[in-house]
Structure 1
């Protein structure tokens, strides 16, 4: 099913506004850019943690999204996504990296919106990815700022990563789906707050888990185990995690496109 030209045009407009707000230029990576993309990925996850140049080149050549954000010509962010077809054709947004001094400055948002525009131009109306449910800023970015919806809990999805970010921590993940033209997403992209979800259960995100993991791995492992039990039980009951105004998880059965 195609996407109308007006929707595509508006998607590119939003992407352009986001890039300007972050003071970056976002574009598809070219072969000459791939060393910079690899450098961004390895700065984030560690040496050897990026796909190699040949793989990135093949993915890019096949039409997947290998995107670069630059400032004054220098790479400051990159993202990689590829097509999938499980439960419908979609783009799986697999990796996104931003240099430390630009994190929280809107670069990731600009990359995601450009990725969205490219998808809509090709008639792809859904993106998916996974994120660590204990990282509060990522939960806010994905669920509140972008309007993605949690559709599954994947305990220890990648196995033990032993990378710069995770160390020996378990790789539990929420899977989210970003329905690119849904009322929920359009509301989020317009900067409107999410509704006050019906509260059937809660899980506080009041701990800086990244700092806890660095300072006290044993305590972080306990919190990970506790969260795994909570998330598995809640989703097993058919509840969906959303965020409160204070960025804690609330589990609900409300429709995901609820207006108020």
Structure 2
């Protein structure tokens, strides 16, 4: 990674370049960009986080975050060209930036169906989902989300805490996978496992009905349990969220 440079952006030309990179990644419909050049300018000018990752002088990734209430940073959008290995260095840069300003909490949203993102957020970074947000952005018109409902998990990365391993004992399968389909099961143990599809992006393109079935299954079980007070405490190698039910909780 010695050829990778990550730095804050302040110049209008840099904002335009990052806007174009995000456009190449998401291919949004006109009028629906992840973030505009004008907002990047405002965020940078008022002390929020706008950064770009450069490899051999070429912009290959970037991140935009907003100072939030409670002395936190909300990471609004982070994107990078595929195969560059930039995600982790970008988040580390964001972490260092926050800590240098006395900020110890970074939040962001992610699609609970995207298994690789869940593994990255929960396993590599040690962030934990703290809220299930149903249809948070409305229908998203871009090439990645394919018009799917925009249910999201709010991930919170507490920089002054370390996520400890959680033993999986007496677990029941709240959502399991069978022949590519979600199967809603029991959610009555002290620990509940919620499976994810192997590749939701491909499902959205090739079998949107199955993709919608996964969305509704996770909304019902993962969203329902979190809404009732269950905590996501881990993510398994098989691609399952691990939820610990609160004492006295009655799954429904």
1:159–1:170 Cα contact (<8 Å) kept: yes
1:154–1:175 Cα contact (<8 Å) kept: yes
- What is the deviation of 1:83? 0.5
Residue 251 (1) aligns with residue 222 (2): no
Question: Of 26, 45, 62, which residue of structure 2 is paired with 1:45?
Answer: 26
Q: Distance in 2 between matches of 1:245 and 1:229?
A: 23
Q: Distance in 2 between matches of 1:135 and 1:83?
A: 26
1:197–1:244 Cα contact (<8 Å) kept: no
Instruction: Detail structure 1 runs of 4+ shifted over 6 Å in the superposition.
Output: none
Root-mean-square deviation (CA, aligned residues, Å) is 1.7
1:220 alignment partner in structure 2: 211
- What is the deviation of 1:233? 2.2
Q: 1:36 to 1:197 in 2, by over 3 A?
A: farther
Q: For 1:129, what is the secondary structure of its paired residue?
A: strand
Question: Of 53, 59, 64, which residue of structure 1 is paired with 2:43?
Answer: 59
- What is the deviation of 1:206? 4.4
Q: For 1:94, what is the secondary structure of its paired residue?
A: strand
Q: Distance in 2 between matches of 1:234 and 1:220?
A: 21
TM-score by length of 1: 0.80
1:96 alignment partner in structure 2: 78
Q: Distance in 1 between matches of 2:212 and 2:34?
A: 26
Q: Distance in 2 between matches of 1:41 and 1:179?
A: 27
Aligned length: 221
Flag structure 2 segments of 5+ consecutive residues without an equivalent. 172-190, 247-252
Q: For 1:100, what is the secondary structure of its paired residue?
A: coil
The structure that is strand-richer by fraction is 2
1:36 alignment partner in structure 2: 17
Q: Distance in 1 between matches of 2:5 and 2:245?
A: 40
Q: For 1:178, what is the secondary structure of its paired residue?
A: strand
1:197–1:252 Cα contact (<8 Å) kept: no
Flag structure 1 segments of 5+ consecutive residues without an equivalent. 1-18, 188-193, 255-260
Q: Distance in 2 between matches of 1:170 and 1:217?
A: 11
- What is the deviation of 1:253? 4.4
- What is the deviation of 1:59? 1.0
Question: Of 139, 148, 159, which residue of structure 2 is paired with 1:180?
Answer: 159
Q: 1:51 to 1:98 in 2, by over 3 A?
A: same
Residues 110-151 of structure 1: CA deviation (Å, up to 9, x unaligned): 111111111111111100011000100000000000000110
2:136–2:150 Cα contact (<8 Å) kept: yes
TM-score by length of 2: 0.82
2:132–2:227 Cα contact (<8 Å) kept: no
Q: For 1:169, what is the secondary structure of its paired residue?
A: coil
Tell me which of the two structures has the higher relative contact order, counting C-alpha pairs closer than 8 angstroms and 6 or more residues apart.
Answer: 1
